[in-house]
């Protein structure tokens, strides 16, 4: 298999979905070995560092990409399989930022209260022991947590000629911030423009569901992935498949709407796979879907809905694309 | 241990939280063996049955209770431990009802569209094999699903003299519809009135997270539970503890607010247990909380947030009440 | 016309809709001359007074009532015409309360920020000059504003046996907090229980749309009103008619839903009056409705939608009930 | 005064805010005489016409612009004064589109119900008599309504390099759809990029508050406006001033957030003008602000909050810019 390795320079970082020229062209079937910087471009390195001083708000959450996928046309389905996502540093960082996060008034849910304090936490990452260690900044508490690396941001160029900040999740993917985007998962995205123009970034050593304070354990990542293309069949919302689950990630405000679009998309997907009508699928999904919140902090909130494949007859999605990619990955 | 068995007559069914005289007085430490009817009072028994014809909207979701707990005063904490929750029938039922459910306009999220069709699904429950079988009504599909019995509704009398329909979840518990309310769990509720006046009901043979269409696999239940009382310490929102997780159930609209109140309550709870400050706990919860949606269909929506106890040092909640109750349950 | 005068003692104040025995029985056609205390029961009288110290949260927003209307049955329509609403004091008061209001995190839209300061403002009311004077508490600013007296709370007993705090607006009316509830207006409410059991209260010397900080210029009121009963025809949501507008008040969360239910109710009402189909009425309302927000601070938010009667052919609502009541009022 | 007349060709129509090269450069103080096509590019001309057949969803709501304002830099404030907005046709058109509008499930508030029917209404516009005539399509009803011409869309290029569809309203203005944007009003917008790059369009012969069905009485417009530039002082959200009111237009989802940002922006603006503290201004705005909803149908909803200048001491905003522009306009 063709393999491309790529580490962007700071000048090559992508700050938007859409609106950027492709950095490489890749053929379907290509293996990519990419490096992604953390959401702060590596500028927060100690508990005394503050985003408000060190970062330009216009330049957060740098992406690696975009990549032009040969043959991808509007209406097609891009399949991105993550073979491995591994921390490229032995530390990660998280921070509260004024008027950003799930449990504070924000620039969108505006209040007159004083902002929460801006604080920074540094985490030790031990990729060998598979741990990430939390250290409190106001006391001496330390807690050793399991490492669970993932990508917060995976997306393509939006439709209707829009260009969106890498802070935003929407129909085109983007900053969905779901822990389901881990190694072993395949992400399906609808193609809106020729070449799809996908990017990835925003690695998290681990993240709770909801990403309450607004930032996870942010770190640089080494990502190995396989790019595939399915002609036609573009989903309305990002889908994820792993060995256990079929998933949809909806984004919107309020969270109700993120959940609704994900449910409707899942019902359409599952009904098609099972050859079952809308109302019966609605009923089935009612009893079997799981609904973990992804993020409650970005300009759109994101909700995952998922169904266990073990509950379903063997009706492989996309003609078994995920199984095929798992096989390829095993051979790398 | 003192044991009380109770099966209500139809005349004894409770239709509200608050506003009803207690049906029994129980001492803390009592074991209760209760029977609860399903949310339709057992009136939907076949796929041709329709709630709109057979049910009076004022009388849905009957509760068993309320029970007056001796010594319970406003500000206290009621602990309800579920020893076993087992289907009392070999069938369950689910239904769509016009303008009710998560993926339709409702009486609250009003639209001008035609309502979805009213349909009824019958499920076979096999308590021996631990299965519940879905049968489509518009085609021949059948799927065997794992049995996972739970109670949709657990609550006490509300504060401020309010009386709420058993359809509603709020600070006092009520119709939270979370699958976390299963055997092995302890539910902590703040006491608002003398005697607490708790009721339970709305058994589900299983339920997806969100309860998309508005009704789970509704069935009658035999419930064995232990009632305990903790003086003081009333939580603002219902808490659940099982062997693995500390959880809070928030309810509100939009779902954003249900999640927010649950997060803030969890941060307060966890910060107290760990002796850690607000901002550090906010950070920790950001990286470890899980956030499964409970229901998106009731007059208030409900969200669960939970943290795995394995990630935390051994700081038992409520001085080990859950462990104590598990021990008592094991001895029954 | 039969006239009843009534001023409640503090012991007779009503704190809920539903759940309270009627204080008087009135026949349709009766004139009521009532006194209502302010939302703080008159306990805040100076800028140094604080609700958190002087008030019991369980006892806020006292109502005058409930009144049992002879012959009122579930499904009927109660018509309450306000002949005059006049300040019964020469001062009014407004206050911020921690975690209450539209521009702060609340107990429902929970954040981790510090609450806003608790402050109290005293207003001079000059009923002769029709002015109400604002005086800043942090500086010397004074502004003379027009007096525009209204009732924040008008409601009947809820359906389904519920009892709701007088803080809440919903289908039964309640704490809608709209400035449209002024003298000259007729409020139509659906009857849920025998006798309707209506109450009024929460006088405001004036109020902005949204009631941003949570409290208007709260004052005691002398209210003259006429009670009428229309058999059948219960609206789903409160309606208001004055000489210029037909209005509906929807309540819910988020505000989107308050607006949606009000629009759907208005379309049904107007379509019936005009004999016009649903889609045509939807189109017409799109071009002529006005949508002032009522409150963004109560447990449910409220939105008014209204259409000017001058745009419509002469199709009197409720067979000209409002005109009839205006005539009676003119003769008092 | 320098005057520029400009009517775009179809090829010059703008479909986004940002991402488009300027069509003209204008100096501050310039008078612009512009023609704007309707939101359907004039393609819907009869009641049998359907947007779903005649329009490409990527090309709706064409704008006239963008214009590069000499000297405008990020952080500056653009002042756009509308001297006259007059219908350029004697007809207007409105339509329902499947899954678009305020009283239907949409692509964002997804439901499983069937969409509402797609219908088109044609209105007669009589600019002499100042009327616009509604004609029902399912019956013979006709209603003559007052003409009240306005622009649905006024905006500049967004910040952070984003490019947004002309369907969207946000901090940069855009598709706010408020009837307050009529002749005699001055709109203040923060500048995000060199030259500001403003566009206008989406003329409505009249519109209700909320724009319930999703489209107003859409028509082409002749617009005379004056462009001015204020160095610095960029507002966070669009502001509008006319002879009677100071206004802010907030946009977001849910509508709660649109209202919140507008209120916070208004409090900051007013507090600055009056030299009054945050809490006092919060209190004052509580009693005097009016809050008409603008739109409940676009990707973001919009809310207007406004205060009557007659209630305030004479503290002219932007050093009297509006009065200055009114004077210039009177001299044209």
Contacts of A292 in chain B (CB under 8 A): 209, 290-293
> Which chains would you list as touching D if contact means 3+ CB atom pairs under 8 Å?
A, B, C
pLDDT at C58: 83
Eight-class DSSP state of A317? G
Distance from C-alpha of C40 to C-alpha of D210, rounded to nearest angstrom: 35
Contacts of A18 in chain D (CB under 8 A): 163
Contacts of D293 in chain C (CB under 8 A): 259, 291-293, 303
pLDDT at C253: 98
Q: CB–CB of C162 and B110 under 8 A?
A: no
A 10 A CB-CB count for B102 gives 27
Question: Confidence band (pLDDT; 50, 70, 90) for B219?
Answer: very high
Model confidence pLDDT, tens digit, residues D48-96:
999 999 999 888 999 999 999 999 999 999 999 999 999 999 999 999 9
Distance from C-alpha of C217 to C-alpha of A123, rounded to nearest angstrom: 52
Look up the ipTM and state it: 0.98
Which residues lie below 8 Å from residue A129, measured CB to CB, with a gap of 6+? none
Mean pLDDT of A18-25: 97
The answer to whether position D113 is within a domain reads: yes
pLDDT at B57: 82
**Which residue among A19, A109, A236 sits closest to D161, beta carbon to beta carbon?**
A19
B250: phi then psi, degrees, rounded to nearest 5: -100, 150
Contacts of B111 in chain D (CB under 8 A): 103-105, 111, 113
- Inform me whether the pLDDT recorded for A57 exceeds 90: no
Mean pLDDT of B300-307: 98
CA distance D225 to chain B (A): 39
Which of D283, D294, D312 is best to mutate for the C interface (most C CBs within 10 A)? D283
CA distance A62 to chain B (A): 21
pLDDT at D156: 98
The tally of domains found in chain C comes to 1
The answer to whether position C327 is within a domain reads: no
**Which residue among C255, C277, C311 sits closest to D254, beta carbon to beta carbon?**
C255
Going by their DSSP bridges, the two strands C164-165 and C221-230 should be labelled as unpaired
Distance from C-alpha of D113 to C-alpha of B96, rounded to nearest angstrom: 12
Range of the domain at D10: 3-317
Contacts of B104 in chain D (CB under 8 A): 105, 111-113
> Which chains would you list as touching C if contact means 3+ CB atom pairs under 8 Å?
A, B, D
**Which residue among B103, B113, B114 sits closest to D110, beta carbon to beta carbon?**
B103
Question: Confidence band (pLDDT; 50, 70, 90) for A145?
Answer: very high
The answer to whether position D183 is within a domain reads: yes
pLDDT at D57: 82
User: Which pairs count as long-range contacts for D40-49, CB under 8 Å and 24+ apart, including other chains?
Assistant: D40/D93, D40/D95, D40/D218, D41/D10, D41/D13, D42/D220, D44/D93, D44/D95, D44/D120, D44/D218, D45/D91, D45/D93, D45/D122, D46/D120, D46/D122, D47/D119, D47/D120, D47/D121, D47/D122, D47/D137, D48/D120, D49/D93, D49/D120
**Which residue among A138, A286, A290 sits closest to B280, beta carbon to beta carbon?**
A138
The answer to whether position D74 is within a domain reads: yes
pLDDT at D152: 98
CA B133 to chain centre: 22
Contacts of B264 in chain A (CB under 8 A): 103
Is C63:C223 a contact under the CB 8 Å cutoff?
A: no
Mean pLDDT of A107-120: 98
| Chain B residue set in contact with D, beta carbons under 8 Å | 103-105, 109-116, 254
Which residues lie below 8 Å from residue C11, measured CB to CB, with a gap of 6+? none
- Inform me whether the pLDDT recorded for A313 exceeds 90: yes
- Inform me whether the pLDDT recorded for A1 exceeds 90: no
Interface C-D: count of C-beta contacts within 8 A: 205
pLDDT at C57: 82
Going by their DSSP bridges, the two strands A150-155 and A173-174 should be labelled as antiparallel
Question: Confidence band (pLDDT; 50, 70, 90) for A28?
Answer: very high
The answer to whether position D217 is within a domain reads: yes
Distance from C-alpha of A27 to C-alpha of B109, rounded to nearest angstrom: 46
Contacts of A115 in chain C (CB under 8 A): 113
Token look-up 């309810």 returns B251
The answer to whether position A38 is within a domain reads: yes
Mean pLDDT of B106-130: 98
Residue A256 sits in a domain whose CATH number is 2.60.120.580
CA distance C107 to chain B (A): 7
- What is the residue-averaged pLDDT of chain D? 97
Model confidence pLDDT, tens digit, residues B66-92:
999 999 999 999 999 999 999 999 999
pLDDT at B58: 83
Q: CB–CB of C115 and A116 under 8 A?
A: no
- Inform me whether the pLDDT recorded for B1 exceeds 90: no
Q: What are the tokens at C41? A: 């029961």
D321: phi then psi, degrees, rounded to nearest 5: -55, -45
SS3 per-residue string spanning C101-156: CCCCCCCCCCCCCCCCCCCEEEEEEECCCCEEEEECCCCCCEEEEECCCEEEEEEC
Model confidence pLDDT, tens digit, residues B273-299:
999 999 999 999 999 999 999 999 999
CA distance A289 to chain B (A): 5
pLDDT at C39: 98
pLDDT at C284: 98
Cα-based angle C21, C25, C29 (whole degrees, multiple of 5): 140
pLDDT at D165: 97
Distance from C-alpha of D50 to C-alpha of D71, rounded to nearest angstrom: 44
Contacts of C164 in chain B (CB under 8 A): 162
DSSP state string for A95-158 = E-BTTBSTTS--SSS--SSPPPPP-EEEEEEETTTTEEEEE-SSS--EEEEE---EEEEEE---
Cα-based angle C272, C275, C279 (whole degrees, multiple of 5): 85
Q: What are the tokens at C146? A: 């027009």
The Cα-based distances of B226 to B33, B150, D324 in angstroms read 9, 16, 77
Residuewise pLDDT in 10s, chain D (332 residues): 899 999 999 999 999 999 999 999 999 999 999 999 999 999 999 999 999 999 998 889 999 999 999 999 999 999 999 999 999 999 999 999 999 999 999 999 999 999 999 999 999 999 999 999 999 999 999 999 999 999 999 999 999 999 999 999 999 999 999 999 999 999 999 999 999 999 999 999 999 999 999 999 999 999 999 999 999 999 999 999 999 999 999 999 999 999 999 999 999 999 999 999 999 999 999 999 999 999 999 999 999 999 999 999 998 999 999 999 999 999 99
Query: For chain C, which ranges sit under pLDDT 50?
Result: none
pLDDT at C1: 84
CA distance D216 to chain C (A): 6
């Amino acid at each position: 298999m063709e393999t491309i390795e790529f580490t962007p320079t700071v000048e090559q970082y992508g700050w938007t979905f859409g609106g950027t020229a492709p950095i490489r062209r890749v053929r379907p079937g290509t293996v990519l070995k990419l490096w992604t910087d953390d959401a702060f471009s590596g500028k927060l390195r100690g508990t005394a560092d503050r985003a408000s001083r060190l970062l330009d708000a216009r330049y957060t959450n740098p992406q690696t990409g975009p990549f032009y996928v040969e043959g991808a046309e509007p209406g097609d389905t891009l399949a991105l399989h993550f073979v491995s996502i591994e921390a490229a540093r032995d530390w990660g960082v998280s921070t509260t930022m004024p008027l950003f996060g799930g449990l504070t008034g924000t620039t969108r849910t505006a209040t007159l209260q004083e902002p929460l304090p801006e604080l920074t936490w540094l985490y030790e990452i031990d990729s060998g022991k598979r741990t990430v260690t939390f250290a409190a900044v106001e006391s001496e508490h330390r807690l050793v947590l399991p490492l669970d690396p993932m990508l917060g941001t995976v997306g393509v160029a939006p439709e209707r000629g829009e260009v969106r900040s890498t802070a935003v999740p929407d129909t085109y993917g983007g900053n969905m911030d779901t822990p389901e985007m881990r190694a072993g998962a395949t992400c399906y995205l609808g193609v809106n423009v020729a070449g799809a123009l996908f990017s990835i970034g925003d690695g998290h050593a681990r993240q709770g569901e909801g990403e309450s304070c607004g930032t996870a354990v942010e770190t640089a990542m080494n990502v190995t992935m396989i790019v595939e293309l399915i002609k036609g069949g573009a989903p309305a919302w990002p889908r994820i498949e792993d060995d256990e689950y079929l998933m949809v990630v909806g984004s919107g405000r309020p969270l109700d709407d993120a959940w609704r679009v994900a449910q409707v998309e899942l019902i359409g997907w599952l009904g098609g796979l099972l050859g079952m009508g809308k109302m019966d699928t609605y009923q089935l999904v009612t009893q079997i879907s799981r609904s973990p919140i992804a993020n409650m902090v970005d300009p759109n909130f994101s909700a995952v809905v998922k169904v266990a494949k073990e509950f379903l007859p063997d009706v492989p999605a996309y003609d078994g694309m995920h199984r095929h990619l798992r096989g390829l990955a095993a051979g790398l």
